[in-house]
A = this chain, B = another copy of it.
Amino acid sequence: MGLLIGEVARRAGLSTSALRYYEKAGLLPPPSRVSKRRVYDSKVLGRIRIILLALDAGFTVKETKTFLSGYPVTTTPAERWRMLASKKLTELDEQMERLTQMKSILNDSFQCACMRVEDCEERMPPTQRIS
Protein backbone atom coordinates (compact mmCIF):
# COMPACT_ATOMS: atom_id res chain seq x y z
CA MET A 1 0.00 0.00 0.00
CA GLY A 2 2.83 2.36 0.87
CA LEU A 3 4.88 4.13 -1.77
CA LEU A 4 8.64 4.31 -1.87
CA ILE A 5 10.23 7.65 -2.60
CA GLY A 6 11.00 6.75 -6.19
CA GLU A 7 7.37 6.00 -6.92
CA VAL A 8 6.18 9.19 -5.25
CA ALA A 9 8.73 11.14 -7.26
CA ARG A 10 7.59 9.51 -10.47
CA ARG A 11 3.92 10.18 -9.79
CA ALA A 12 4.52 13.75 -8.69
CA GLY A 13 6.94 14.49 -11.49
CA LEU A 14 9.66 15.41 -9.03
CA SER A 15 13.13 14.10 -8.27
CA THR A 16 13.73 12.04 -5.17
CA SER A 17 16.22 14.62 -4.01
CA ALA A 18 13.59 17.32 -4.23
CA LEU A 19 11.31 15.24 -2.02
CA ARG A 20 14.03 14.77 0.58
CA TYR A 21 14.76 18.47 0.33
CA TYR A 22 11.09 19.32 0.96
CA GLU A 23 11.09 17.02 3.95
CA LYS A 24 14.19 18.63 5.40
CA ALA A 25 12.65 22.04 4.75
CA GLY A 26 9.54 21.05 6.64
CA LEU A 27 7.18 21.03 3.68
CA LEU A 28 6.60 17.31 3.89
CA PRO A 29 6.10 15.40 7.15
CA PRO A 30 8.70 12.68 7.78
CA PRO A 31 7.04 9.50 6.52
CA SER A 32 7.16 6.19 8.26
CA ARG A 33 10.12 3.92 7.58
CA VAL A 34 10.52 0.32 6.65
CA SER A 35 14.09 -0.75 7.16
CA LYS A 36 15.22 2.89 7.02
CA ARG A 37 13.43 3.59 3.76
CA ARG A 38 10.72 6.21 3.51
CA VAL A 39 7.29 4.72 2.95
CA TYR A 40 4.61 7.20 1.96
CA ASP A 41 0.86 7.16 2.21
CA SER A 42 -0.65 8.07 -1.14
CA LYS A 43 -2.28 11.07 0.56
CA VAL A 44 1.14 12.71 0.32
CA LEU A 45 0.45 13.34 -3.34
CA GLY A 46 -2.31 15.76 -2.43
CA ARG A 47 0.05 17.64 -0.22
CA ILE A 48 2.72 17.73 -2.89
CA ARG A 49 0.21 19.10 -5.34
CA ILE A 50 -0.52 22.04 -3.09
CA ILE A 51 3.17 22.55 -2.41
CA LEU A 52 3.92 22.75 -6.11
CA LEU A 53 1.03 25.09 -6.72
CA ALA A 54 2.26 27.37 -3.97
CA LEU A 55 5.86 27.28 -5.16
CA ASP A 56 4.84 27.84 -8.76
CA ALA A 57 2.73 30.75 -7.68
CA GLY A 58 5.75 32.39 -6.14
CA PHE A 59 5.66 31.33 -2.49
CA THR A 60 9.09 30.68 -1.06
CA VAL A 61 9.70 27.33 0.58
CA LYS A 62 9.52 29.01 3.96
CA GLU A 63 6.25 30.73 3.17
CA THR A 64 4.83 27.53 1.78
CA LYS A 65 5.70 25.80 5.02
CA THR A 66 3.81 28.38 7.04
CA PHE A 67 1.02 28.30 4.51
CA LEU A 68 0.63 24.55 4.83
CA SER A 69 1.03 24.18 8.55
CA GLY A 70 -1.01 27.21 9.45
CA TYR A 71 0.67 27.17 12.82
CA PRO A 72 3.60 29.53 13.01
CA VAL A 73 5.05 30.02 16.46
CA THR A 74 4.38 33.65 17.22
CA THR A 75 1.05 35.33 17.83
CA THR A 76 -2.15 33.37 17.69
CA PRO A 77 -2.12 30.40 15.33
CA ALA A 78 -5.00 30.96 12.96
CA GLU A 79 -4.59 34.71 12.91
CA ARG A 80 -1.05 34.68 11.67
CA TRP A 81 -1.91 32.18 9.03
CA ARG A 82 -4.69 34.46 7.86
CA MET A 83 -2.21 37.33 7.75
CA LEU A 84 0.16 35.37 5.54
CA ALA A 85 -2.62 34.39 3.20
CA SER A 86 -3.86 37.95 3.06
CA LYS A 87 -0.39 39.37 2.44
CA LYS A 88 0.22 36.82 -0.27
CA LEU A 89 -3.08 37.59 -1.93
CA THR A 90 -1.97 41.19 -2.25
CA GLU A 91 1.35 40.09 -3.68
CA LEU A 92 -0.43 37.82 -6.13
CA ASP A 93 -2.56 40.72 -7.28
CA GLU A 94 0.52 42.86 -7.80
CA GLN A 95 2.20 40.08 -9.71
CA MET A 96 -0.89 39.62 -11.86
CA GLU A 97 -0.79 43.32 -12.59
CA ARG A 98 2.84 43.10 -13.70
CA LEU A 99 2.12 40.12 -15.89
CA THR A 100 -0.81 41.95 -17.44
CA GLN A 101 1.39 44.96 -18.20
CA MET A 102 4.06 42.74 -19.63
CA LYS A 103 1.52 40.96 -21.77
CA SER A 104 0.28 44.28 -23.01
CA ILE A 105 3.78 45.35 -23.99
CA LEU A 106 4.34 42.02 -25.69
CA ASN A 107 1.06 42.26 -27.57
CA ASP A 108 1.71 45.85 -28.60
CA SER A 109 5.06 44.87 -29.94
CA PHE A 110 3.33 42.43 -32.24
CA GLN A 111 1.12 45.20 -33.52
CA CYS A 112 3.85 47.61 -34.43
CA ALA A 113 6.70 47.09 -36.77
CA CYS A 114 9.38 48.12 -34.30
CA MET A 115 12.42 45.95 -34.07
CA ARG A 116 13.20 47.07 -30.55
CA VAL A 117 10.82 47.33 -27.66
CA GLU A 118 11.88 50.81 -26.76
CA ASP A 119 10.86 52.12 -30.13
CA CYS A 120 7.33 51.30 -29.08
CA GLU A 121 7.57 53.22 -25.87
CA GLU A 122 6.25 56.48 -27.23
CA ARG A 123 3.07 54.68 -28.19
CA MET A 124 2.57 53.55 -24.62
CA PRO A 125 -0.17 54.94 -22.43
CA PRO A 126 1.03 57.81 -20.22
CA THR A 127 0.94 55.59 -17.13
CA GLN A 128 3.72 53.50 -18.57
CA ARG A 129 5.99 56.38 -19.43
CA ILE A 130 8.81 57.97 -17.52
CA SER A 131 9.15 61.70 -17.15
Binding site for B on A (CB under 8 A): 42, 45-47, 49-50, 53-54, 56-59, 67-71, 77-78, 81-82, 85, 88-89, 92-93, 95-96, 98-103, 105-107, 109-110, 114-118, 121, 128-130
Contacts and interface: CB of A to CB of B under 8 A. Distances in A.
A85 B128 CA distance: 19
Q: How many monomers of this protein are in the complex?
A: 2
Q: Which label, helix, strand, loop or mixed, suits the secondary structure of the A interface? A: helix
Nearest to A54: B102
Given A57-B98, A95-B99, A106-B85, A115 B71 contact: yes
B130 A98 contact: no
A46 B46 CA distance: 45
A130 B46 contact: yes
A99 to B, nearest CB: 5
